[in-house]
Amino acid sequence: MTTARTEPDIVHHAALDARMVQAARGIKVLTLASWPAKHGASFLADHARGVTRLPHVDYAQHDFREARAELAAIAREADASHPLGQYLIDATASWDTAARLCEALGTAAVSDLSQQLYGSVDAPLPGSGPSARVAAQHFIAIADQFDHELASPAEQVEISATALQLQLQRDLDDYFNERVIEVVLDPDLIAKAAAGATRIRLRTSAAFTDYDRQQLLQHEAFVHSLSALNGREQPVLGSLALASPRATATQEGMATFAEQITGNIDIARMKRLSLRIEAIACALDGADFIEVFRLFLDAGQSPHEGFASAQRVFRGVPTTGGHAFTKDTVYLRGLIGVHTFFRWALRRQQLRLCRWLFAGKMTLGDVQRLAPMFESGVLVPPRWLPSWVARANGLGGMLAFSLFANQIRLDTIDDADFADI
C-alpha cells in the first residue's frame, strides 16, 4: 500500500488535490447564500400583523477569479486517463461553477448556476424515471390522503432544540465512546439541522419530535458527519472530506436512504421534501416569495416553518419570482439514485462499493471510477460506518427482497390474491 501511494502518478495527483482543497476553501455556497436571521424576524412580525412584504436581501460581493484560475490550472495538469485525474477534472469544474454562483449572488444568474450544480425539477430521475416534480407530487398526494390519527401520540410530542441537543450528544458519545462530534445550537441556521465533520448544528428556535431525533442521527451524524470524518482519514485525496456541491445529490441520497432503511422516515418527512421541490417549480414558473410562503402555509406548515421553507427556495436569487435555488431537488433524486445503485451493486456482487461510499464525500460515479484506488490501497476504506452498512448480510437481505418485490405489479393484484395468505 505504501509503495502504491508513492508512485509518481499518485504523488502528482495528490499534490493537485491538495491545491484544489486550498483553492476551494472559501467557496461555501450554502453559507454565502444564507439569509441573515433579521429577515425572518421582520417578515414574521409583519405577517402576524396582517402585512406581507417581499424580503429584500443584500449579499456581499465575492471575487473568486484567483481561485477559479487555480482550479483551471489543476484541471489542465490532471491526467484524464487516470482515475484520480478524472476525479480532479470533474471536481474542479464543479468548484468553478460554485464559485461563479457565489460571485452572482442576488442576481437571476444564480438560478441557472444552481441547476447546473444541483439539477432541475424537470430532469428525469435515475433509471429513466419521471421527473423530480412528478415524484414530489406523487408523495404529496399520498401524504394528503394519510390518516393522521394513525400516528401514535409519541410521534406528535414536540421537544425543544435544547432537549434534542442533549439526547443526540449522548447518542453520539456512546457511538464513538468519546466526544468526537459536538452538537450545538445555532439561532441563524436556515435548515432545522446541518452537519459537518465534528459539529452538528440545530436551529435554536425549531421544535423536534422523536422521529426527528432518529432522522438526524441517521441522516446528519451517520452519513454527513461520518463521511467527512472518513474523508479526513484519506492519505491521498484530502478533498474527500469537503462538502463538494457535485457530491450533494449522492450525500443527501445516502442520508435519506439511511432514514428509510432504518425505518426512520415518515410520510410527513416525505411530504416536506416533496413540497420543497414543488415550491422550487412554482418559483421557477413565476411565483414570488410570498406566494411560495403561502404554498407552505396551505400545506400545513406554521408561519415560522413556512418562512424557513420558502427561504430555502430563494437563497441567492431575487424574491420576485421566476428564479429559484434548486438545491432541494437533490433529496428525492439522490434517494432514488442511491437506492437504485445499492440494488445494482448487489446484483453485480459489488456491495463493497456501497461501503466505500462512506470513505469520503463522493458521487456514485466517483466510487466506481476510484474502485482500483481502493483495491490497491491508495484510498483507504471507511474507518466509521453506520450499523446498517457495517452489517453487510442485513443490507444484502433487504436489497435482495427489494429486487424481487419490484417485479410484482400492484396493478394486477386484487383482493382475492390475499385470501389464502
Three-state SS for 358? helix
| pLDDT given for residue 389 in this prediction | 86
Whether the Cβ atoms of residue 209 and residue 157 lie closer than 8 Å to each other? yes
pLDDT tens for 144-189 read: 887 555 555 555 678 899 999 999 999 999 999 999 999 999 988 8
pTM here is 0.89
207-208 and 159-160: which strand pairing?
A: antiparallel
121 SS3 class = coil
Q: Which residues of 44-82 are buried (b: 16+ CB within 10 A; e: fewer)?
A: beebeeeeeeebebebeebebeebbebbeebbeebeeeb
Q: What angle do CA 152, 294, 142 make, to 5 degrees?
A: 40
Rounded to the nearest integer, the mean pLDDT of the chain is 90
Residue 148 is predicted with a pLDDT of: 58
DSSP 3-state assignment of 217? helix
Q: What percent of the chain is predicted at pLDDT more than 90?
A: 71
Three-class DSSP category at 67: helix
For residue 298, pLDDT over 60 is answered with yes
Residue by residue, DSSP assigns 70-105 as: HHHHHHHHS-TTSHHHHHHHHHHHHHHHHHHHHHTT
Does residue 404 have a pLDDT over 70?
no
pLDDT class of 124 with cuts at 50, 70, 90 = confident
pLDDT of 154 reads 53
- For the segment 93-107, what is each residue's pLDDT rounded down to a tens digit? 999 999 999 999 999
Nine-digit cell string for 106 = 442576488
pLDDT confidence band for 27 (50 / 70 / 90): very high
> What pLDDT sits at residue 201?
95
Q: What is the DSSP string of 322-356?
A: S----GGGHHHHHHHHHHHHHHHHHHTT-THHHHH
The fraction of the chain above a pLDDT of 70, given in percent, is 90
pLDDT in tens, 319-342: 999 999 999 999 999 999 998 898
For the chain, how big is the Rg over CA atoms in Å?
22
**pLDDT for residue 350 is more than 70:** yes
Confidence of residue 314 (pLDDT cuts 50, 70, 90): very high
Average pLDDT over residues 300-314: 94
- Give the type of residue at 98: A
Please name every residue paired with 242 in a beta bridge, in sequence order, or none if there are none: none
